Amino acid sequence: MKPRFAHSAALPGFETPAAFLRPFAGEALMLVRAEAKAGSALPAHAHPHEQITLVFSGRMRLRLGTEWLELGPGDIAYVPPNLEHEALFLEDTVAFDAFHPLREDFLAKLASS
Amino acid sequence: MKPRFAHSAALPGFETPAAFLRPFAGEALMLVRAEAKAGSALPAHAHPHEQITLVFSGRMRLRLGTEWLELGPGDIAYVPPNLEHEALFLEDTVAFDAFHPLREDFLAKLASS
């Protein structure tokens, strides 16, 4: 795969109930820019991918298993494979989610959007 | 591995000639907070890991192979495995580098620091 550069806010993406998602994929490593409005919620879910979430701007609450955390700019969280998690966005928020391996479901949605 | 949360600026880290690095590792996915001073430079190097760099604040120039790019807040770049790259920090800069697999060299430096 070739090197690539992007202004993340200008990447193509797709709407979900919780956020607008803009994936940026390598071979087995992916970064996804998530833009969420204040008050939106990401329902409880789990996936076999490892995830590290970084808040770029805004504020969110994140549940990792049984624990709720509040994250602001520069805060990061590790979501192990298959751990149930959910989120509530307290402010308009931009977060970046790193995944390994690729979220093929996101790439399929991007391709069909 | 258990879920974890951190204020990235407060993570333990270690000094390198180019930047202070604060690793945050999962099993095969890692995010590294890099804090670089204006004028510092990361010499040309390559590694077998995939890398995605996100600029959080500041401004940097990044060479990917033969191409120089300038990145500001929210800009991202994909560094394929084994591609030679280097960086020059134009301002005090905070960037996050996602890696797959883990940079074991960084974890070793962290453990010995």
Give percent of chain B above pLDDT 70.
Answer: 100
Q: For residue B99, give the 3-state DSSP assignment.
A: strand
Is A51 part of the contact surface with chain B (CB cutoff 8 Å)? yes
Task: Kindly state the tokens that stand for B59.
Answer: 């401004």
Instruction: Write the DSSP string, B38-52.
Output: TT-EEEEE--SSEEE
Long-range contacts of B38-42 (CB under 8 A, 24+ apart): B38/B89, B38/B90, B38/B91, B38/B92, B38/B93, B39/B89, B40/B88, B40/B89, B41/B86, B41/B87, B41/B88, B41/B89, B42/B18, B42/B86, B42/B87, B42/B88, B42/B89
Is A96 part of the contact surface with chain B (CB cutoff 8 Å)? yes
Is B102 part of the contact surface with chain A (CB cutoff 8 Å)? no
pLDDT at A86: 98
Residues from chain B that touch A98, judged by Cβ atoms under 8 A, are 29, 31, 52, 98
Q: Going by DSSP bridges, is the β-strand pair B60-64/B67-71 parallel, antiparallel, or unpaired?
A: antiparallel
- The pLDDT tens digits of the residues spanning B24-83 come to 999 999 999 999 999 999 999 999 999 999 999 999 999 999 999 999 999 999 999 999
Distance from CA of B113 to the nearest CA of A (A): 22
- The pLDDT tens digits of the residues spanning A22-52 come to 999 999 999 999 999 999 999 999 999 999 9
Task: Kindly state the tokens that stand for A6.
Answer: 């992007």
Is B70 part of the contact surface with chain A (CB cutoff 8 Å)? no
pLDDT at A81: 98
pLDDT in tens, chain A (113 residues): 999 999 999 999 999 999 999 999 999 999 999 999 999 999 999 999 999 999 999 999 999 999 999 999 999 999 999 999 999 999 999 999 999 999 999 999 999 98
User: Which residues 16-45 in chain B show a CB within 8 A of chain A?
Assistant: 24, 26-31
Give the chain A residue whose CA is nearest to the CA of B34: A74
Residues from chain B that touch A77, judged by Cβ atoms under 8 A, are 3-6
Provide mean pLDDT across the span B5-11.
98
Angle at A92 between CA A63 and CA A65, to 5 degrees: 5
pLDDT at A96: 98
Predicted complex: ipTM over 0.85: yes
Distance from CA of A72 to the nearest CA of B (A): 9
What pTM, to 2 d.p., does this model score?
0.97
CB spacing of B74 vs A9 below 8 angstroms: yes
Counting one residue from chain A and one from chain B, the pairs whose CB atoms sit within 8 A come to: 126
The minimal CB distance from A74 to the residues B8, B51, B71 is found for: B8
Give the chain A residue whose CA is nearest to the CA of B7: A75
Tokens 């790193």, located at residue: A98
pLDDT at B26: 98
Is A68 part of the contact surface with chain B (CB cutoff 8 Å)? no
